Amino acid sequence: MKKLGILLVLAGLVAQAHADEVKVAVAANFAAPMQKIAQAFETASGHKAVVSVGSTGSIYAQIRNGAPFEVFLAADDETPAKLESEGAGVKGSRFTYAVGKLALWSATPGLVDAKGEVLRQGNFRKLAIANPKTAPYGAAGVEVMRKLGLADALAPRIVQGESIAQAWQFVSTGNAELGFVALSQIWQDGALKGGSAWIVPESDYTPIRQDAILLAKGEGKPAAQALMGFLKGDAARAVIQSYGYAH
């Protein structure tokens, strides 16, 4: 029994020695799914994902300024490609982990109709969007307004968040009656979590292909490589789909 106890302790120490942390930068729209994925990843691998959330543009700037991130889950495919070309990302490691969907959402039930006609009717004061220069979902929102021919008419009503998380916060707190958000922020397990929404047809904006990339600081690190692999697996995919993303 004594020997067995010693062996179990040694086994635990070996497991701890192999377990490591991976520093992950995550686009704001993917914050909630990533929390669940990180928990499943730790259970499956023993590695811990330390997650930082922000807009894709601001994370890019942090990486270029030497931030210690090892994996980046962006809200577009252009930024990871740029990091790869600049040598800050590992060549050949990029892949699309999710395809995002845009929604017009209000915390008020019944305010947003199923076709988004509320934008033309104008019975609201403020419309929230993420900064289109740094947040792909914000750029998609602007694209939709232009396609509808409403960009100029709606411009005075827009309140801008630095990330899609802040745009969602403006709407959820009532500072804006409605806003363009990521479907993943308001959707779970096949249903709207609250309020009212128009899921914008994907033909109305450029596809939001969200790519992951292994960053140079994560090259050769088992925890970082393990997370990249885990993101491609069935457990992660199930979480991703439950939040309304496509593949």
Tell me what the mean pLDDT of segment 226-230 comes to: 98
- Token couple for 204: 């109305």
Model confidence at 125, pLDDT cuts 50, 70, 90, reads: very high
Percent of the chain clearing pLDDT 90 (strictly above)? 89
Query: Could you report the per-residue pLDDT of 183-224, keeping only the tens digit for each?
Result: 999 999 989 999 999 999 999 999 999 999 999 999 999 999
What pLDDT sits at residue 14?
Answer: 40
Q: What is the pTM of this model?
A: 0.85
Whether the Cβ atoms of residue 103 and residue 168 lie closer than 8 Å to each other: no
Q: Which domains does the chain have, with CATH numbers?
A: 2-99+209-242 (3.40.190.10), 102-199 (3.40.190.10)
**Measured CA distances, 2 to 14, 59, 81 (Å):** 18, 51, 55
pLDDT of residue 247: 72
Measured CA to CA in angstroms, residue 78 lies from 83, 85, 95, 213 at distances of 9, 11, 12, 11
Interval 18-42 mean pLDDT: 95
